[in-house]
Structure 1
Amino acid sequence: MSSRLYVKGRLVAEEFDAAEAGARLRAEPGAVLWLDLVDPGPDELRALAAEFELHPLAVEDALTDRERPKLDRYHNHLFLNLYAVAFDDEVRKTEISAFITPRALITVRKPPDEVALHLDRWDADERLASGGVDFLVYGLLDVVVDGQYASAQRIDESMDGIEDRMIGEGAAPRDVRRRGFALRRTLAGLRRAVAPMPDVVREAGRALAADEHHLRPYYRDVEDHARRAVDLIEHSRNRITELLDDDLAEQSNALNDVTRKLAAWAAIIAIPTAITGYFGQNVPYPGYEKWWGFLISTACIVLTGSGLYAYLKRRNWL
Structure 2
Amino acid sequence: MSQQVQESLRLRGALFDGDERTEVGSLAELMEALQTSTAFGYLEIRDPDRLQLSELAEHLGAPELLHPPASASSGHTPMVAGAHVRLSTHRVQLEEPTFQLVVADLHIYVLPRLLILDHDGGFDFEPLRARLDTEKRHRDQGVGWLLWLVLDELLGEAGSALNALDDELDDIEDVLLTPGNKPAAIQNRVYRLRKSASRLRRCLLPLRDAVDALLRREADCVSPSLFPLFQGLYDRGVHHVEWADSLRDLVTALSDTQIAMEGNRLNVIMKKVTSWAAIIAIPAAVTGFYGQNLPYPGFNTVGGLWTSTLLMVVGCGGLYVTFKRKDWL
Question: Does the pair score TM above 0.5?
Answer: yes
* Residue 137 in structure 1 maps to residue 147 in structure 2: yes
Tell me what 1:200 maps to.
210
Asked if residue 310 in structure 1 is aligned to residue 310 in structure 2, the reply is: no
Separation in structure 2 between the aligned mates of residue 108 and residue 243 of structure 1, nearest angstrom: 39
Q: Report the alpha carbon displacement of residue 219 of structure 1 after superposing the two structures with TM.
A: 0.2
- Counterparts of 1:51-130 in structure 2, within 5 Å, are 51-55=59-63, 58-62=66-70, 66-68=73-75, 70-73=77-80, 77-89=84-96, 90-116=100-126, 117-118=128-129, 120=131, 123-125=134-136, 128-130=138-140
SS at match of 2:67: helix
Query: Scaled by the length of structure 2, what TM-score is found?
Result: 0.83
**C-alpha contact 1:68 1:82 (8 A) present in aligned 2:** no
Q: Which of 36, 44, 47 is equivalent to 1:39? A: 47
In structure 1, what is the Cα distance between the partners aligned to 2:82 and 2:140?
24
RMSD in angstroms over aligned alpha carbons?
Answer: 2.8
Contact 1:98 1:106 survives alignment (8 Å): yes
For 1:120, the aligned partner's letter is R
Measured after TM superposition, the shift of residue 102 of structure 1 is 2.2
CA distance in 1, matches of 2:77, 2:121: 19
Does the Cα contact within 8 Å between 1:68 and 1:193 map onto a contact in 2? Answer: no
Match of residue 185, structure 1, among 184, 195, 198: 195
Worse-superposed segment, 265-274 or 239-248: 239-248
Shift of residue 37, structure 1, vs aligned partner: 0.6
Which deviates the most, 13-22 or 214-223?
13-22
**AA of the residue aligned to 2:48:** P
Query: Could you tell me how far apart the structure 2 residues matched to 1:115 and 1:257 are?
Result: 54
Please tell me whether residue 212 in structure 1 is matched to residue 223 in structure 2.
yes
Partner of 1:241: 252
Deviation at 1:164, TM superposition (A): 1.9
CA distance in 1, matches of 2:55, 2:267: 69
1:26 alignment counterpart: 35
SS of 1:61 mapped into structure 2 = coil
SS at match of 1:169: coil
Given that residues 3 and 18 in structure 1 are in contact (C-alpha distance below 8 angstroms), is that contact kept between their aligned partners in structure 2?
A: no
Q: Which of 263, 270, 274 in structure 2 is aligned with 1:263? A: 274
Q: Which runs of 5+ in 1 are unaligned?
A: none
Q: Which runs of 5+ in 2 are unaligned?
A: 1-10
SS in structure 2 at match of 1:275: helix
Distance 1:111 1:16 in 2: 17
Q: Is the 8 A contact 1:122 1:139 kept in 2?
A: no
Instruction: State how far apart, in whole Å, the 2-side matches of 1:65 and 1:190 are.
Output: 13
TM-score normalised per structure 1: 0.86
Classify 1:132/1:210 alpha carbon distance in 2 versus 1 (closer, same or farther; 3 Å).
Answer: closer
Cα 1:295–1:273 shift into 2, 3 Å = same
- Runs (4 or more) in structure 1 with deviation over 6 Å come to none
Q: Distance in 2 between matches of 1:210 and 1:111?
A: 26
Name the count of aligned residue pairs.
314
How far does residue 218 in structure 1 lie from its aligned partner after superposition? Answer: 0.4
Q: Is the CA contact (8 Å cut-off) linking 2:50 and 2:69 kept in structure 1?
A: no
